[in-house]
Amino acid sequence: MSTTCSVFCGVSLDGFIARTNGTLDFLEGDGTAPVGDHGYEAFMAGVDALVMGRNTFNVVLGFGQWPYTKKVFVLSSGNVDLSLAKERGADVELLNATPEEVVRQLDARGYKRLYIDGGGTVQRFLRAGLIDRLIVTHVPVLIGQGIRLFGPLEQDIHGFNS
């Protein structure tokens, strides 16, 4: 299997990737200074497809305009309505599989460079030892509470590039 899994995420200085309600507004800054893309565009240019969970998919739908030009795979064990995303031009597909199965299936379909997105999905792929590259961009803000990038881990995880 030659597929690689990468993560690119913005994190507040106190370690949160989203507010408690899942919103990401703090990533845009307060308007007093340019935010910059921190290498995001270059990263996306090297990605074949995105893999995200249902919660992240719903947050992205809230952006209004669909932000991705790449294929997006939404992981969920339940039914997810993809119609609004498709109306906005998304190439999106639902998958119900473990991280290992996802990588195996997408590798077989020719997707070699995956962007793993969303806190829960990233944590599952980390626990499975499937994250090859981890890019964390710190946003100069403290938000006090929210959703952490890394949840509890049973053991240290080594072996990926940052």
Q: Which CATH superfamily is 4-148 part of? A: Dihydrofolate Reductase, subunit A (3.40.430.10)
Q: For 125-142, how does the pLDDT look when each residue is reduced to its tens digit (9 = 90+)?
A: 998 999 999 998 888 889
3-state DSSP call for residue 126?
helix
Q: Give the model confidence (pLDDT) of 40-94 as tens digits.
A: 888 899 999 999 999 999 988 988 889 999 999 999 998 899 999 999 999 999 9
Burial readout 18-50 (b: 16 or more C-beta within 10 A, e: otherwise): bbeebebebbeeeeeeeeeeeeeeebbeebbbb
Query: Cβ contacts of residue 78 below 8 Å, gap of 6+?
Result: 54
Q: Could you give the C-alpha distances from 44 to 75, 79, 87, 127, 143, in angstroms and in order?
A: 20, 28, 22, 24, 27
